[in-house]
Amino acid sequence: AIEEAAIVGVPRVIFRALAMADRAAAMERGAAGNSEYTADHNKMMSVRKSRRLSMRDDPSRRLSKKFKEEGGTQADLDKQMEEARARRQQSRRIPHRSGSMIIAKAEDMRQRQLAMYEQGKNPEERDYHTSAHMTEPNELVTSQGSKLGTDGLACKDGPAGIKVEEVPTLTEVSGKNKITPPPKENIWLRLMRQIFSGIFNVLLWGTVAVEVFLIYTGNSNDIVTPIILASVVVAAGLLQWWTELKAESLMEALSGMQANASVPTVRRQNGKRVDMMVESEDLLPGDIIFLKMGDRVPADVRILACTDGMEVDNAALTGESIPEPRDPSTNEKGTAPTHSRNLAFYGTTVVKGNATCMVFFIGDNTFLGKIASSIKSARSKSTLEIQIEHFVHLIAVVAVVVGLFSLIANILDPNPHPIGYIIANAAGALFAQVPEGLIPTVTISLMIASQKMSARNVLVRKLDAVETLGCVSVVCSDKTGTLTAGDMTLRDMVHFAAGGSMVTETDFSGTDPTNKSGLPSKMLRGAVRNNATVINGPGKYVGSPTEIALMKAGVGAWGLNKVKDVMDNPTLFEIPFDSANKFMFIAEPYPSGGQLFSLKGAPERVIKFCKFAYVGNGDTVQEMTPEMLDAVNASAKKLMSSARRVLGIAERRANLPDSFDWDKTTMDYAKENFLTDMVFVGLFGIQDPPKKGVKEAVEDCQAAGIKVIMITGDHPDTGVAIAKEISIIPAKGDLPPFTVITDKELADKVPSGETFVDDGSEEAKKLEAFWTQVVVHARVFARVTPIHKQLIVQALQKWGGKGADGKVYGDIVAMTGDGVNDAPALKQANVGVAMGVRGTEVAKDASDIILLDDEFASIVHGIEQGRLSSENLQKSIAYTLCSKVPQCIPNFFELAGVPLALNVSQVLAIDIGTDIWTAIAYAWQPKESALMSRKPRHPLVEKIVNGGVLIYAYGYMGIMQMICCWAAYFTAPGIFGNVGRTEFSPEEVHTNKVASTLYYYTLVIGQIAAALATTTYHESLCKYCLPNMKLNICIFLEVAFAALIIYTPDCNDIFLTTGLTTKQMIYPWMAFVAISLCEEVRKAIGRKSAHARELTAARDGNPLRQRLLED
C-alpha cells in the first residue's frame, strides 16, 4: 500500500493510515480464520472472569498468595480493583475507530488522487498531466467525494460540494493551496562561503597564514602584507555577497499570481447546503466554487457550467494573446490540458462570463505549481564562472609550482639560509604569481558594465550574465508581448470599392462618426457600437480584447468623447455574442427615424445573412452576387493567412412602429425577422502586431551572427505570419523542412528523463536524429508547452553551435519572455531575459536580465554592450597579468646572490595600490571596432583568458617589462658590488634600496605602457588616442602614488624604498618609449593581416545574415 501510495504522490499521513489499515485487516482476517482458537479464547476469558468474581465474593480467597507475601492489606486490594474498574469504564466511553473505517478513509483518499491523473502518467513527472478535462462531470465530482446540487451542474440549489466534516482530514492530506517557495541559503553562511571557499581564496588565505607564521616566529616584521591581503579577500567576498543579495530571488512575488481573495464556495454539512466564503489558500480538491468576470482563478478547476461566451485570459501561462473561450463540454481522450476549454488554471483571470467550477488540483500540483517547481533548481555555472574558475586553477598551479621551485632552489643553494628566509622567499615567489586583485576587478568591472546597460533599459540581475550576453549565438524569443505588442489592434478594414473589387484601409484617421454615408466611417462606427466594452478612463478598457481593439481604433481616430456619444445611443434589443452563434446583434434608434440593425461576428456567419452589400463610398447598395461572395471569402482567407483575427460586419435600416414591444422580443423572433436581408459592410482584420523596431532588431542580430527563433503557444499560422513580417524567416518562397515545428511533432520527441542523454539507446538515437536537424533549421516553434520550451533550449545547448573544426560545442542561448510559461526556459537558458513592464514576477525571478522597456530591440544593445564588456574584461585581465613575470623573477635572482629587487609589500603596492584601479577603468573603454559585425565568441572555443592572452602577458609584455626593470636596477651606483654578498653595510643597504626602488618604479611605468597598449588589439594609439578619461586619471594617479611611496618617509619604512634623483626618475620612462614602439609595430603587422583576411572574405562573398536565414 505504501509503494502504491508513493507512486501517486499521496502524502505521508496516508502512508501511516494505510499501514494501520493493513495491520487491522490482517488481525481481522487472522481472527476470522481461526474460529476454534476464538471459541477457546472466549471460554478462557469467561473462566477468568468467574474466578475474579469468586475471589471478590469470598473473603477467604480475596488475597492472592503473592499479594500477601508483599505485605498488602485487604483495603489496598479493594482500592486497586476499584481503579481497574474505573479504567475499564472510562475506556468504554472512548469510541474506537475500527480497521475497516481506516481502510475506507485511506482508500478513498488514494482513489481521489488517482482519479485526477491521466491513466499511465506518473504524478511525479515534471510535465503537467490530468484526466479532469476528459472525464464526465458527474463521474469527476463523485470521484472527489463531492456532490452536485439538485439543479445539476450549476450547483445553485440543494446540498453540494465536499462535506464540512472531511475538511480537516482533506487539509492534512492535500495541504494548503499555496506554492512552496524554494529553500534559501542562510545569508551569513553565504557570506562565509564567499570569503573562504574556492581555490583562489584558499590560496590567498594560505599566503596570509604563511605571512602571519613568519611574523609570529620572528622571521618577518612585515605586518602590512597580510593585513592588506586579508582585507582584499574579505572585501571581494563582501562585494559579491552584497551583489547576490541585491539580486535575491523574487520567488515570493509568485504570490502575486495566486488569488488571495475569498472565493464563493458551497459545501455540505449534515446533509444541508452551506454557502460560505473560503480563503483561496484553504480550498481543497473537490470544492465547488463560483467565478465571475474579473476574478482570478484560485486553483486548477474543471468548469462544470458557464455562461455562453465565457472567456479566460491565459496569456501569462500559455502565451495566447487572445482570451480563450470556455466550454463545459467533456474533451476527447488525448486532448492536451492546455488546449482544453473546460479547464481554468491557477493564476489566470476570467475576463467574461460566470462559471461553476470544481477544484481538482491545488498548490504545487497545479499547472502554475509545476512551472514554479521547474525553476527552483539551482542554475548551472555561467560561462564566465567556468572561465574564471579554469583560469584560477591554472594560476594556482603556476603559483604553487613557482613557489615549490623557489623552495627547492633555496634548499639546494650551496649557501645555507635560515628556515624563515627560505619560507619567506618561497612565499614571495608564490605570492607574486597570484593576481589578488582579479576577483574585485572582474566584479567591479561587471557592476560598472551593468550600470551602463541599465542606462539602455537593460537591468542586470546576475552580474556574470553581462559577459554571457556578449557570447550569445541564439536568441529564443516568446512571441506574445515580446516580439509583438501583446495588445489586439485593428489593422485592416476591407470593403467593396465602386467597381466591386475589395480594398483595404489601414489608416482610420480620416473617418468621422457623423458621416453616415462614408463606408470606412460606417464600419468604424459599427465597430465601436458594442456593450461588451466599458471605458473607465483614458487608455482603460474592460472586456474582450477583440472588442477593446475595435474600441481603441475608434478612440484613436475620433477621440474619447465622440466614441462615448456613439456608445451612449440607447439599445433597443441585443443578442450578445456566444460561442454557438459566433455573432452579436444590436438594434438601436436611427437619428432620422426608424431603427438601425447592426450585426458583427465571424465572417462565415455574418455573410449568410447578407443579401446586399455597400460599394464605393457607402451610398450605394448592390445585391450580393456570387462573384462578390467569392471576393469576401478570398479577402477573409487572405487576412487569416496574415495572422489576422477576422470579423465581418453588416447592417440594415428598419421602420418598426414606436409601439413595438422590444421587451417581449425573443431571440428566435429576432433571428427570423431582424437578421434577414442584411447589407454587408466589410471585414475587420485584428492582430497582435509586431512591436515597433523588432524587425530591425532581428536583422541586426542576424548581421551579428545570431539566430533568432520564435517559440510560442499560438497557432503555427500566426507564428509564421509574424515571423515573416519581422524577418525571422524569408517572406517569400517555400519553407524548407524543420523550419516550423509544432507540438504534434514534438509529442514523441521528448526524453523520458530530465534532459537528453547519450546512452546509446534507441530513444537517444531517435532524439538525436530529430534534434540535430531542428537546431540547425528551425525558426518557429508553435503550440508548445512550457516543458517543450525548456527542452528546445536544452537541445540547442547540446547539439547547436558547430565550430569551424566540425565539433559541436553547443549554442549559447538567450531566452526572452514575459509569462509564467517562459520561466522554465528562462532558467534553462544561458541568459534569461524577462520583460520588465508586462513580465510576471515568476519570469523575472527566473531571468538574469530584465528589459525595462519591454523592447526586444534593447536586447541588441545589451548584446553589443556584453561584447564590449567581454572585450574590455579580456584587456583588463591581460593588463593585470603583464606584471607577473617581473614580480616573480627577483626571488630567483636573489638565490644567485642578487639583492632582492622587489619585495612583497612593493608587489602589493603595484597590484592593489595601482593596477586594480587601472584595470577597473577598462570598464569605461569605448569600443575599438564594429562589434556587431563579427561572429559571437564561443566561451569554450575562445576563452577570455586564452593562450593568446597568456602569451601576450607572460611571453611578450612581461618579458619586455622584466628586461627594462633589470636594466634600470643595475643603473644604481655600486649595485654590482653587492651581488653575491649576504651582509651589507648601511651604505650598501641604501644602495640596495635605490636599486629596488628603480626596479619598482620602472615596473610601474612599464604597467602604464601596458595599460595604453592593451586598450586596442590592432588600432594604433595615434588614431585611437586616449578616449577613456577615467583610465587617463588612473594612469596619472599611478605615477602620483609611486612618487608617494618613493619620497614619503613613512612609506619608505613600509615598502623599503628611498628617494631617487631626477636623472634616476627619468630612466624608467625610456622603458615606456621602448614598449610603446614595439606595440605600434606589432599592431601594424596585425592590421595588415586582418585586412588581407577581410579581402578574402569579401571575395568569397557569404553574407552572415543571409546564411542564417537560409540555414
Of the candidates 300, 478, 688, 848, the residue annotated as catalytic is: 478
CA 569 – CA 565 distance, rounded (Å)? 7
Residue at 201: amino acid letter? N
**Rounded Cα distance, 183 and 377, in Å:** 10
Cell representation of residue 276: 460560505
Burial class (CB in 10 A: 0-12, 13-18, 19+), 407: middle
Other CB atoms within 10 A of residue 498 CB: 11
Active site residue 327: no
Cα end-to-end distance, the chain, whole Å: 55
Task: Say how many C-beta atoms besides its own lie within 10 A of residue 304's C-beta.
Answer: 23
Residue with cell 644604481: 972
The rounded distance, in Å, linking the Cα atoms of 529 and 585 is: 10
CB atoms inside a 10 Å sphere around CB 395: 21
Q: Which three cell numbers stand for residue 425?
A: 622567499
**To which H or E segment does residue 113 belong?**
helix 99-115
> 431 CB contacts (<8 Å, ≥6 apart)?
207, 225, 399, 904, 907
- Full 3-state SS string of 307-332: CCCCEEECHHHHCCCCCEECCCCCCC
Backbone phi, psi, residue 273, to 5°: -80, 135
What DSSP string runs through 635-700?
HHHHHHHTT-EEEEEEEEEE---TT--GGG--HHHHHHHTSSSEEEEEEEEEE-PBPTTHHHHHHH
What grid cell was written down for 65? 498468595
Q: How far apart are CA 987 and CA 739, in angstroms?
A: 82
What's the gap between Cα 32 and its chain centre? 61
What does the block give as the cell for 314?
A: 491565459
CB 1078 within 8 A of CB 960: yes
Which bin fits 413, alpha (ψ -120 to 50), beta or left (φ > 0)? beta
Q: How far apart are CA 234 and CA 597, in angstroms?
A: 78
| Number of residues written out for the chain | 1111
Does an H or E element contain 744, and which? helix 743-746
Return the closest-CA partner of residue 846 out of 790, 806, 765: 790
For 154-170, letters b (16+ CB in 10 Å) and e give: bbbeebbbbbeebbebb
In angstroms, what CA-CA distances link 756 with 319, 762, 794, 802?
25, 13, 8, 18
Q: CA 92: distance to chain centroid?
A: 61
- Phi-psi group of 559: left, alpha or beta (phi > 0 → left; psi -120 to 50 → alpha; rest → beta): left
Cell of 1036: 596619472
Question: Whose CA is closest to 874, among 830, 917, 923?
Answer: 923
Query: Distance between CA atoms of 926 and 932, rounded to whole angstroms?
Result: 14
Class of residue 74 by CB neighbours under 10 A (exposed 0-12, middle 13-18, buried 19+) = exposed
- Cα distance between residue 327 and residue 173, in whole Å: 31
Residues with active-site annotation: 478
